Amino acid sequence: MISRLSLRNLELSRKTGIILAVFFFLLGWVEVGYEYISRQAFRPELGSVLWVSGVFFLSTALFASIRARVVQVVAMFTLGALMASYRGVQGLDAAVIMVLSFLFADIYGLMKTNRGAKLLGSIVVAMLIIEINSMMQLGDFFAATAPYLVLLGYLVFHIARYNLLSRSLDERNTALSEQIDANHVFIEVGQNTSGLVHDLKNDLCRISYPRQHAQRQVRKLLEGAAPEYIAGLKRVAESLGEIKQAEDHLQHSLQVVRRIPAGFVRTDEHMVDVSTYIRDLSSFLMFRREFRHTVRISLHAADRAIWFGAESDLSAICKNIIENACQAAATAGESRLVQIRLYQHCHQDCGQQICSCSRSDGDLQLEVVNQGSIPWLSGEASLLDEEVFCIGRTSKQSGTGYGMVNVRRALRRIGGSGSIRVSDGYVITAIRFPQRLQQAKANSSRSARPGIRSAVDARKPRTQVAQ
């Protein structure tokens, strides 16, 4: 079958068919020429069989391989010689007729799969052609020519038909081979694309997993921090409300103070236990994050160091002095100890410090010692000096100088004094709180008068604002 032949065998069969066709055409002309030379008679029918055989070899040899065609031709040539001896026909003509009949039968049976029918058809056609040749030799040329020409036309028609079929099959085979090559290219491209897609999916998974994990962590943090954030906002709102209330109260207090007579005494002055106040202030500073693990405070104070004055002035002095000492000690070298000493001078007759007598009407003395230095100060300077301690002059990186200005103002209000001394890498701050117990007694007696008491009662109670 044509569909089972390779391109190489088909090409070789074409070459073989052309060679055999040329050989039989030349052999036919040789036989006709020999007859004409020997007998002076032109008999083209002698060469017609060979010419027709050449035509069949040219056409039918294209549809089979060389090896199969040679075996078939040899077999049919032998069978034609045997039949020629049986019918009394010339051996060469009989062999050619058998080969011709086989080729015709081969062309006719190309679309059939039954080999037995194909062989039987070739034998029947060979016998018919032998009979026609016998009739031609007997002289009945015209009677034998008509069926022979009909058979020849039929064979030529099928030869042309199968030649066209062979060309179309060649073109289709070429197109199929090109399509197969293109399909191989597409298959390779598809395989490469699938590999790239697989690698991209793996890379995207490796990228998306950390992103999703980070999103989940952020979502958890936000979900956990949202209630605290809302609660903090509520606390800030409440603090702002309290600050607003305190501001209103201060404005009202300021208006009341402006209406007080000039000789009226301050009502915020009272007896204060300074030792207890300094202990509480030291404990508060030790709980702050910046001093918790870096600064130590050593406090030596009298059991009851009573002082008469305003607590706001005491806070302005003690808080600024002790907090500055802690900040300086936190940034110091090895020693981070802040020493605080508080003692009270006895009455004028005793002349001792913290004596055992029952009277304690002497001044209070506060000393704060810490390691550090003040770049713009050498020796000793008074805290009441406005040129030394002014706004903008400070030894801290983020300081403004307002703290020492507040200390100076508070000392002036209470009539006290203070100094700072720098010696051998230490800063020593000394504050004197004057004792005014007699003034306290006088104030208590004057506040009992009817005219002034009404002005005091008109003031609203003091409101404490949480820092």
> 431 pLDDT band (50/70/90 cuts)?
very high
**pTM, entire model:** 0.39
Q: Is the model's pLDDT at 110 over the cut of 50?
A: no
Tokens matching residue 264: 């009226």
List Cα–Cα distances, 224 to 212, 220, 302, in angstroms: 18, 6, 49
Residues comprising the chain, all counted:
467
**Span 317-346, average pLDDT:** 82
Note the pLDDT tens digit of each residue in 278-296.
Answer: 888 888 888 787 777 777 8
Tokens matching residue 404: 């020492």
φ/ψ (deg, to 5) at 281: -65, -40
DSSP secondary structure string, 275-287? HHHHHHHHHHHHT
**CB atoms closer than 10 angstroms to residue 339:** 18
Radius of gyration from C-alpha coordinates of the chain: 67
Nearest to 114 by CA among 232, 3, 37, 1: 1
Tokens matching residue 223: 């979900």
Mean of all residue pLDDT scores within the chain? 68
* 35 close to 46: Cβ distance less than 8 angstroms: yes
Q: Assign 110 to helix, strand or coil.
A: coil
Q: Assign 296 to helix, strand or coil.
A: strand
Note the pLDDT tens digit of each residue in 366-383.
Answer: 999 988 878 777 788 888
Pairing status of strand 296-301 against strand 337-344: parallel
DSSP secondary structure string, 351-394? --BS-SSS---SPEEEEEEEE---TT--EEEETT-TTTS-TT--
Note the pLDDT tens digit of each residue in 445-460.
Answer: 554 444 333 333 433 3
* 261 close to 301: Cβ distance less than 8 angstroms: no
Residues 355 and 343: their CA atoms lie apart, in Å, by 10
* 391 close to 405: Cβ distance less than 8 angstroms: yes
Nearest to 282 by CA among 295, 293, 265: 295
Q: Is the model's pLDDT at 14 over the cut of 70?
A: no
Residues 261 and 446: their CA atoms lie apart, in Å, by 13
- Lowest mean pLDDT: which of 77-91, 227-241, 255-269? 77-91
Q: Is the model's pLDDT at 127 over the cut of 90?
A: no
Q: What pLDDT, on the 0 to 100 scale, is given for residue 429?
A: 92
Note the pLDDT tens digit of each residue in 213-261.
Answer: 777 777 777 777 677 777 777 888 888 888 888 887 777 777 765 665 5
- Lowest mean pLDDT: which of 43-47, 49-53, 353-357? 353-357
Greater confidence (444 vs 41) lies with 41
Residues 445 and 78: their CA atoms lie apart, in Å, by 166
Torsion angle of the four alpha carbons 374, 375, 378, 384, in this order, in degrees rounded to the nearest 10: -60
Residues 6+ apart with CB under 8 A from 127: 83
List, in order of start, the domains of the chain with CATH numbers: 2-139 (no CATH), 269-446 (3.30.565.10)
φ/ψ (deg, to 5) at 44: -70, -20
> 160 pLDDT band (50/70/90 cuts)?
low
The helix-helix angle for 91-108 and 44-60 (nearest 10°) equals: 40
